[in-house]
Structure 1
Amino acid sequence: MTLHPEHDFIGLAPFLRLSIAGGDLRQVAQVLLEQARQDQDNPNLWMNLATAFFTLGERDLGLTIQSQALQMQRRYTLPARRQPARSRLLVLLNAGDLAENTPIDCLLEDSDVELIYQYISAAEPLPADLPEHDAVLVGLSVTDTSQPILDALVPLLAHWPKPVINAPQHIPNVEREAASALLQGVPGLLIPATWPVDRSALAAFADGSRSIEDSFPGGRFPVILRPTGSHGGHGLARIDSAAEIDAYLAAEPENSFYLSNFIDYSGSDGLFRKLRVALIDGQPLPCHMGVSSHWMIHYLNAGMYEDAAKRAAELAFMEGFAGFAARHATALDAIHRRSGLDYLCIDCAETRDGELLIFEIDHAMVVHAMDPEELFPYKQVHMLKVKQAFEDYLYRLQVQSAASVRR
């Protein structure tokens, strides 16, 4: 990966692309570090370096470097690859790692959309000197630090003169407990109840002084445990009996967790299939399908790169997505309406009974077309549809906004 000689801000996409291709990110980070030392007053370089360390999993170092960049500058622009830009999207962000905000530049690579990244805070949720833009995307995830910012944004964006994508009052709907409650009772949709539980309660389950069955209506082993606020499978575990809880707690230092019943979503062949679907203004589109013999699927370690049969299964899913969308139209529409979000992604599966099993809904999932084309030629076709759907949505908003102004 080479950087522009003026050391422009480059966003997440180039780093993620290099990581997926197996490139040497540490060498890139070292080059960036040397450049930043030679040009210490360049916030773009420091922000690029922070992103490199986040991609490497060096969260604490990335946060330190990001903080230094934000002290110098809180606005970073990714120009449209094709000029002139057809749309200017103002993206509101919170300081934090890669899970903190919507990685929209990964979806909009090589587009004619200019992305203006504005890092905000509760003290200054909307700076007075915001640049011209055609729409606003609230990109913040739901965290302890972002909630006060989201609260501050609600009245400010309520009558914003430009279209607002993912209004701040709806963002908390993706939080696991909230989403679980929100989506109960939808025909054809299955989402396990999610219960908050602290460390002391888990210890009581382990020693037998309390039971999951008596503590939570419908609770039973096996269960899924994960630390509150975790993403990407960090701390996620299936617990088959109370005897396994002590070992889990010994490995996890956190004090608060989410607990839910484990649902066996394996197919008749014993394999698990985890699907990622994007909802753009209510329109469902396929992003990927991971196939694995293990219930906890992450696309990068599911063997999709090594197994042609798994890729063929993913191709069949993407080519036959219209049938999937028709089967689950009621569930997908309910997710769109109840969440209130204009852009979000769904990690899900189909059960043997034909229900849509929801693992997570979120607007901050990574959606991209970076997998090697020689192995995944079909991905380019279908991911282009997702990208085009988002661009078309932006342009519709612009037209509607302009018509409203003329009236």
Structure 2
Amino acid sequence: MQSFELTDMALDTIASFASLGRVKLGEMPDLIAKMHEHPSDAARFYMGLFQLFTITGNNDFAQSMQARALALNTIYRVEGSSQPSIRLLAFMVAGTITDNTPLDYLIENSDIQLDVVYLVPGEPLPDLLPEHDVAIIAFGESDKDLSSLEMMKAIVDDWPRPILNRPQRVLFCARDKLYALIRDIPDLLIMPTLRVDRASLENITVANATISAVLGGGTYPITVRPLVSHGGKGLSKIENVMELQNYLANAPESEFFVSFFSEYRSVDGYYRKVRIALIDGVPYVCHLAIGEHWIVHYQTANMADSIEKREEEARFMREFDTDFARRHQVALSTLAERLGLDYVVIDCAETIAGELLIFEIDNRGWIHATDDINVFGYKQAVMNKAFAAFRAMLVKAMHAC
């Protein structure tokens, strides 16, 4: 068993994604020039380029810069409070911004110091790690990170500080495992989900049998998406075998999640998706996206262009605790108990019949307060409530040991 020493460390400081996200595109060259002022600090320079080019969408170059940074150093401190009251250590993995919990958005402008340790496949953790008050597993259950989860599973029970989002619980966020875990919760609806390889779907006979098994003898429509899929990328609703074949002809992946499609359109013709953060088992509303398409994302729902949508979201947020959360109190509390995760994000909706329809649950979910305050002024207090709950959870963990 590997042993670790915790000590106060002078760490390479990197910017937060939250602050970089507010930088205008025209200001990027000045930021890059500023990084060049300290070329000897190669690890921080490469990590800065990773962050900048992630923000601008050049993921391939960003990943190459991250690899260079991690070859030099795997421990970083995110810019923040100079006089922290809470020291949070996050275990992360190499990858895109969606591979890890975006913690810097949760702790922005707080008294929480965030240090990050990146796990590198095939390599042990450093023997010397930053002193901290609380640690958190901040990466997910994707196939590429399973070995890192297994490594953490072997050491968390003997960790010298409280540790949140234990790796064995993170595994339940996988779409097929999640269905098996929560499918029988009263007044909660989650569609049967199966992990299927390409060969099975390309064989029409096997595909029909597979789909029938998923749907319990049901029929189309279904949804198909690659195993690693975020923001609706690669997600499609399939109405028949021909559409399935066309989908596969344009999808390079070798494995997919297949699920039944549940119609959740409201009586006014709009689709509504709610994002909730479960923090220490308590639900906090983070947004209500209202759109015309069944794939509803906040960025594509044109919320900023519709005062009617924003007024509805503001009202929904004001009344969340006494309305939506109260109606689904039993389902949400049972869900939180079964998951056993300290921080996790739920994307869900409400069916016409009044059930809580679960789309996705992910410990890497993004909640933030970066929307334009002049347009979304009502969101600041709501998000600050969630951020305060996150801080309170850390304090509770600190005092529990």
Per the normalisation by structure 1, the TM-score is 0.90
Which residue does the alignment assign to 2:290? 291
For 2:392, give the aligned amino acid: D
**CA drift at 1:293:** 1.1
1:316-355 → structure 2 map (5 Å cutoff): 316-322=315-321, 323-355=323-355
List per-residue Cα deviations over 1:181-236 (Å, max 9, x = no partner): 1111000110001011222222223x898455544324421111100121111101
Q: CA deviation at 1:34?
A: 4.3
- Does the 8 Å CA contact 2:279/2:343 hold for their aligned counterparts? yes
Kept in 1: contact 2:212–2:219 (CA 8 A)? no
| SS of match in other structure, 2:98 | coil
> Residue 173 of structure 1 aligns to a residue in which SS?
helix
The superposition leaves residues 78-124 of structure 1 with CA deviations (integer Å, 9 ceiling, x where unpaired) of 2433x420100000011111111110101211110000011123444
Q: Distance in 2 between matches of 1:121 and 1:373?
A: 39
Distance 1:210 1:301, change over 3 A: closer
Q: Find the counterpart in structure 1 of residue 394 from structure 2.
A: 394
User: Are the aligned partners of 2:185 and 2:335 in contact in 1 as well (CA < 8 Å)?
Assistant: no
Does the aligned pair in 2 maintain the 1:346–1:361 contact within 8 Å? yes
Gaps of 5+ in 1: 1-6, 402-407
Q: How is 1:101-180 mapped onto 2 (pairs within 5 angstroms)?
A: 101-180=100-179
**Is it true that 1:374 corresponds to 2:379 in the alignment?**
no
- Cα deviation digits, residues 241-263 of structure 1 (max 9, x gap): 22212221222111111111111
SS class of match (1:353): coil
Which shows bigger deviation, 152-161 or 372-381?
152-161
Distance in 1 (CA, whole Å) between partners of 2:52 and 2:220 is 40
- Residue identity opposite 2:156 in structure 1: L
Rounded Cα–Cα distance in structure 2 between residues aligned with 1:86 and 1:392: 12
Cα 1:125–1:266 change in 2 (3 A) is farther
Q: Give me the whole-angstrom Cα distance separating, in 2, the residues matched to 1:133 and 1:258.
A: 38
Q: Please say which of residues 121-130 and 43-52 is displaced more in the overlay.
A: 121-130
State how far apart, in whole Å, the 2-side matches of 1:93 and 1:399 are: 24
What is the aligned partner in structure 2 of residue 9 from structure 1? 14
Distance of 2:183 and 2:388 partners within structure 1: 32
Match of 2:3 in 1: none
User: What's 2:189 paired with?
Assistant: 190
Task: For residue 153 of structure 1, give the secondary structure of its aligned residue in structure 2.
Answer: helix
Partners of 1:365 and 1:213 in 2: CA distance: 29
Amino acid at match of 1:256: E
Classify the secondary structure of the residue corresponding to 1:300. helix
Indicate the SS of the match to 1:146. helix
User: Once superposed, what is the RMSD of the aligned Cα atoms?
Assistant: 1.9
Q: Secondary structure at the match of 1:359?
A: strand
C-alpha distance after superposition, 1:328-378 (max 9, x if no partner): 111111221111211001000011111000000001111100101111111
Matched, 1:305 2:327: no
Gaps of 5+ in 2: 1-11
Q: Does the CA-based 8 Å contact 1:85-1:113 persist in structure 2?
A: yes
CA distance in 2, matches of 1:28, 1:146: 34
Provide the rounded CA distance (Å) in 2 between the counterparts of 1:254 and 1:275: 29
- In structure 1, give the amino acid aligned to 2:20: F
Native 8 Å contact 1:99 1:141 kept in 2: no
Question: Equivalents in 2 of 1:180, 1:302: separation in Å?
Answer: 27
Q: How does 1:349-364 map to 2 (within 5 A)?
A: 349-364=349-364
- Which of 230-239 and 42-51 deviates more? 42-51
Counterpart of 2:22, as a letter, is R
Q: Per-residue deviation at 1:143?
A: 2.0
Contact 2:200 2:207 in 1 (8 A): no
Matched letter for residue 186 of structure 2 = P
CA distance in 1, matches of 2:83, 2:233: 41
Write the letter of the residue equivalent to 1:12: F
Aligned to 1:266: 265
* SS of equivalent residue, structure 2 residue 305: coil
CA distance in 2: counterparts of 1:236 and 1:200, whole angstroms: 19
Structure 1 residues 209 and 28, CA gap change in structure 2 (3 angstroms): same
TM-score, normalisation: structure 2: 0.92
Query: Hey, what does 1:53 align to over in structure 2?
Result: 53
Q: State the distance in 2 between where 1:211 and 1:108 align.
A: 48
Q: Verify the 8 A CA contact 1:189 1:358 in the aligned structure 2.
A: yes
1:3 aligns with none
2:241 is the alignment partner of 1:232: no
Distance, in Å, in 2 between the alignment partners of 1:174 and 1:258 is 13
Matched, 1:92 2:81: no
Tell me, what secondary structure is at the counterpart of 2:87?
strand
Q: Is the 8 A contact 1:141 1:171 kept in 2?
A: yes
2:279 alignment counterpart: 280
Kindly indicate whether the alpha-carbon contact (under 8 Å) linking 2:14 and 2:77 is maintained by their aligned counterparts in 1.
yes
One-letter identity of the residue aligned with 1:263: S
* Cα separation, partners in 2 of 1:247 and 1:281, compared to 1, 3 Å: same
Aligned residues: 387
Is residue 11–residue 48 contact of structure 1 (8 Å, CA) maintained in 2? no
In the aligned structure 1, how far is the partner of 2:191 from the partner of 2:213? 16
Find the counterpart in structure 1 of residue 76 from structure 2: 76
User: Letter of the aligned partner of 1:353 in structure 2?
Assistant: A
Query: Residues 115-146 of structure 1, C-alpha deviation per residue, up to 9 Å, x if partnerless?
Result: 00111234444321111100001101112231
Deviations 1:295-328 (A, max 9, x none): 1011011010100100111111111111211111
Find the residue that maps to 2:129 and give its secondary structure.
coil
- Structure 2 CA distance, aligned partners of 1:211 and 1:398? 51
Within 2, Cα distance between the matches of 1:142 and 1:58?
24
AA paired with 1:14?
A: S
Q: 1:36: how far off?
A: 4.8
- Residue number in structure 2 paired with 1:4: none
